[in-house]
Structure 1
Amino acid sequence: MSKKQKLKKTLVEQILDKAKIEHLGLAINALEEKTLPDGIERSDIYKTLALIGDKTGPIIGMLPLTEHLSEKKLAKASGNKKVSMIPQKDLQKTTGYIHGANNPVGIWQNKKFPIFIDTIALEHDFIVCSAGELGRSIQIAPSLLADFVQAQFIELREL
């Protein structure tokens, strides 16, 4: 992060501040950025995917942008026979966020949907995920995030 620009904190950042959870706000649009800040790789950036389970209803899966989700693994871990992506047209009314702004903190605060983070996150000091607005992200320790949103670490990616 070369020069510090003063950005208004997103609601997600305000929630984390209030809970005294260490994080760093970043101005990154992971869907469009070709060049990332120093020290951040594409594999550090996590997508927050909203799915619907046939038994549980909405669930959230998080894994690196560079990986593909195994719906079969997520279904099994979440107690469903099958899960499928929530159609983009239904995303905002389901999670409260538009495509590209889904984030575990806001979804947990508002909806309490079960959240699953790929175990690969445990191999890293931090992950980067959406801060609830397009072009905004947070950098946070995976265990701090998981504790705050009561997420489970499971293997979600296709191997």
Structure 2
Amino acid sequence: MAAAVKKTNAMRELERAGIAYTVHTYVHDDDDFSGARIAAQLGEDPDQVFKTLVTVSPEGAHVVCCIPVDHELDLKRAAKAAGVKALSMLPLRALTPTTGYVRGGCSPVGMKKLFPTVIDETCQLFDTIMISGGKRGLQLELEPDALVAFCGARIAAITQEG
């Protein structure tokens, strides 16, 4: 029998909100944070597995962006969707103090505070998507509409074309 998974902030918050999710675990590699590798390990379509990226505006406002793991974030599109002038990636050293999460385990759910969130429009192509469960080795599968509603997220085309 598999060991029980210790609840994360993301799991507790989804449960408090009455949002159904399914837990998926994978073996994480501290040297390889490849979302495509994680999707393959889970046997899932990489377009259905979303990574969480934290950005910052020149004024210091944070914006969370969720995109498919094998895509690149288009910072200009993300800024436009968030209604700010420009965005850049949050420096890695600031990730944990800002969100409470570590690289490879950052979830849009359960951060230290709720930041404006933009989710790539491709989430609407699936009945369920996967996001980080709030720690390395853990993914949560849930309905995209539930995630959008919980985060108060905007849906927009925020990946690079091509």
Alignment TM-score, normalising by the size of structure 2: 0.86
Specify the code of the residue in structure 1 equivalent to 2:5.
Answer: L
Alignment TM-score, normalising by the size of structure 1: 0.88
Partner Cα separation in structure 2 for residue 158 and residue 35 of structure 1: 22
2:14 matches 1:16: yes
Aligned to 2:114: 112
Specify the code of the residue in structure 1 equivalent to 2:80.
Answer: K
Partner Cα separation in structure 2 for residue 79 and residue 55 of structure 1: 13
* 8 Å contact kept, 2:58–2:86: yes
Q: What is the aligned-residue RMSD (CA, Å)?
A: 1.9
Aligned to 2:69: 65
Partner Cα separation in structure 1 for residue 55 and residue 116 of structure 2: 10
Deviations 1:57-99 (A, max 9, x none): 1100000011111100011111222100011111111111111
Greater shift in the superposed pair: 143-152 or 93-102: 93-102
* 8 Å contact kept, 2:21–2:142: yes
Identity %: 28
Deviations 1:94-127 (A, max 9, x none): 11111111111112xx312100000000011111
Number of positions where the alignment pairs a residue of Structure 1 with one of Structure 2:
154
Specify the code of the residue in structure 1 equivalent to 2:41.
Answer: L
In structure 2, stretches of 5+ residues that fail to align are none
Partner Cα separation in structure 2 for residue 77 and residue 141 of structure 1: 21
Partner Cα separation in structure 1 for residue 106 and residue 86 of structure 2: 21
* 8 Å contact kept, 2:24–2:42: no
